[in-house]
Structure 1
Amino acid sequence: MKRILIAACCVIGILSASAQTQDKKWAIGLHGGVSQYNGDLGNDFYKTNGTYYGFGGLSLSRYLGGNFDVNLLATKGTMGYRSNIGNFKNDFTSALLNFRFNILGPNSPVRPYLMVGGGAILFDKNLDVKDEKVDFIAPSFGGGINFKLGPSLMLNVQEVFMYSTEDDRDGVVADRNDAYLLHTVGLAFNFGKKKDADNDGVADRLDKCANTPTNTMVDKKGCPLDKDADGVPDYLDNCPDVAGTELLKGCPDKDGDGIADQDDRCPEVAGTSALRGCPDADADGVADIDDKCPGTTAGFKVDTTGCTLDNDKDGVVNEEDACPDLAGVLALKGCPDKDGDGVADNEDRCPDVAGTIANKGCPEVSTEDKTKITQIASKLFFENNSAKLKTASLNQLDELIVLLKKYETANLTIEGYTDDKGSDEFNLALSQKRTESVKNYLVQKEVAESRLKSTGMGEANPVADNKTAAGRARNRRVELQLTY
């Protein structure tokens, strides 16, 4: 008998190498129910006024295929019968191995099944396995229904018929063997590890997209959801409810400018990315929808409204304004002209005094004054072979100072000359000293030194013949000239 039980365990081990569901191949159950008898003493099957005895049991199931599994059911309880012609009552332990055919597939919430198999019953309270206490069940058969209560939990209702190979457990040996009926109800728990490499809830065997990123919503085939059917899965789709393009991460682009409509300020008109999808007809860097000066000349700098910059607000745009930070006049390219002489201040040597364009904004020295300066120069005399001014020359210089104040923006050039008597070096040095004497006198009278330039010319540029005394006298001279 022990060899038979060992063999039965080996069969279960072999079957377990197959597969409860494809993902969870095993199920363990807890069962309870009542037993009924049919034999020489009578028949209690399905009689509500018959004899009932309780039992409990455990089951272990292994998935074999889409509609098949094998089930090992072990029960322990009491079995018996009471009647006018005889009674019997025995404690029993049974082990049944049944092959089950599931009428509906693994995904059905209700799975009815039929089963057939065999096993053994030990009629002994203490599980003392001896041949005379063991009856074989050949066959066992029946059916039941599994109700899915959750992903791994089922409610099981089952009827098991057991036909015994013996005929003496009821105390009567007659013309038919004993049979028993088990009415059971229980709970079965599926277990086993589902192979799901990308952890998306869809088993690898069913997963058409086996590398889906973690926490991504998938369909029944394990592929990322794509609600708008644009070929971009929702987890990568920035616009999951509107069909778009892969290039724009699933977002639409009606004007085809490469900028998604949701980011495009001008979704109906093609534009540039720099202007967030808006066009710029005058190419001034300001979108047409913001441009208050849409005809701006290309290349000109503009403000935020698209109008050409005019920093000083003088009506001359910066690109054409020679003085963009100072308000000026159009005629002078935007530069100011304080003295109104037609010469821009930035080019006017005399910006505070009206002058002439030819004289770069400075007033012309009158002919009368030019003559007077020439006369003053002709009356400047020095001590013999000396740079010291004669007293009479000082009065002439005072008159020169009056003219310098009149033309206060003009500069004075002082040039000194000698005759040819003496060496060239001596004459050059003497002429330089004499011009400096004139310059120093003027500076002492508060004429700005920066306005004065003194140069000794020596014997150069004679105006008369040095062979005569009169000619040499004319060559010993100082020349004065007002310049700007």
Structure 2
Amino acid sequence: MKHLSKLLIVALVFLGANNIQAQDENNPWQISFGVNAIDFYPTNDADNIASSTTLFDEYFNVSDHWNILPSVSYVGVSKYIGDGFSIGARGSLNRIENNGDLSVDDLSHYAVDGTIKYNFVKNTTLDPFVEIGGGYTWVDEIGAGTVNGGVGLNIWFSENIGLTLQTQYKHAFEDYLAQHFQHLAGISIKFGGTDTDGDGIYDKDDACPEVAGLEAFNGCPDADGDGIEDSKDSCPNEAGSKELNGCPDADGDGIADKDDACPSEAGLAALNGCPDADGDGVADKDDQCPNEAGPAENNGCPWPDSDGDSVLDKDDQCPQVAGTVANNGCPEVTIEVQKKLNDYAKTILFDTGKASLKSESVPVFVDIIKILGEYPTAKFTVEGHTDSVGSAKLNQSLSEKRANSVRDFLIKEGISASRLTAIGYGEDKPIATNNTRAGRKENRRVEINLVK
């Protein structure tokens, strides 16, 4: 056995000196150990070598020709280098008692061989291969170099352990060492694959080599067990559906909970998963009138029309007074109203030659103010007129003062100043002749006219 130790050391040194960096297979290392048999028949007969029939005629004659040492008698180690090829070394021991048909005294036999092996298939239980190489063989301390060629079969019981059966022909370069067969049978162990995360998938094939995962996902994890690997799962810690990239949808509305503003209520995608009971486009949670359709500008409520004039309050310049659409919701001053207003205005009385109002005019102002109040957005001109008695200059001044006097009174009683403009026309716009007393009385007047 001391020679076996030497051979194993030589084999390991050989592989160490031939370290191949490029690796593309799992478990690149293989070590084999078992028994070997040496058969010198009939390869030691030069006359018979040319005949293949004779060469293999006694090939399986174990009892008469094979030399077998009943113990572990060979150790081999190889390393995969890619594309089905491996290189390796093997050391073997034996005891020669049969030299062909001749019996000899126990002769020691040991050999060291370098190997180049080619495996035909990958990742199968039956793994046939061919092997060539060379080495050195000693028989009873006399040695010679050999060139070798053979075939073999690995039968794998698991990913790492199998049975190896192999035979090889060894041709010696020296006449004193006969050509011969060497048969081997032993246990093979593959190793060397790295599985950093311990998930049973080697790092070379593991897309997530530092995180334990599943074979179905090339070694990547699926933390929530939803069948979607974490790297493609938008919700890796919550089980979800493939359609939603692994995210859950509690309310079943087709919107992932993480994107759903209302995850417990089925809703619409346009509203981020929230419901809209009245269908007005405003989510119920933001809708102040969830059961009445209304615009978003009014928080989902319909716009009111307080005065019922068909003009919404938001557009109605007179929201509390019914009006017309044409006048933006405000009532329109009709010809009849305008005439009525001026019938009242013509009865306003002033002190003679002055702009001061007589007290008898107060009831008339009540009626005027009531009419003006019914048209809150309408604007009016208060127009002062005189007869032709006196100078035109004085009449112009008096008409302006009287117009302003009426305007001031109306403002004092609550009519907005922005709605009233005072104008004096003097004696320029008579409505009757100034040659009669009755005509001059008609010309001394105040008119309140709508600004159009």
Which has the higher relative contact order, 1 or 2, with Cα contacts under 8 A spaced 6 or more apart? 2
TM-score by length of 2: 0.46
More helix by share: 2
TM-score by length of 1: 0.44
Larger Rg: 1
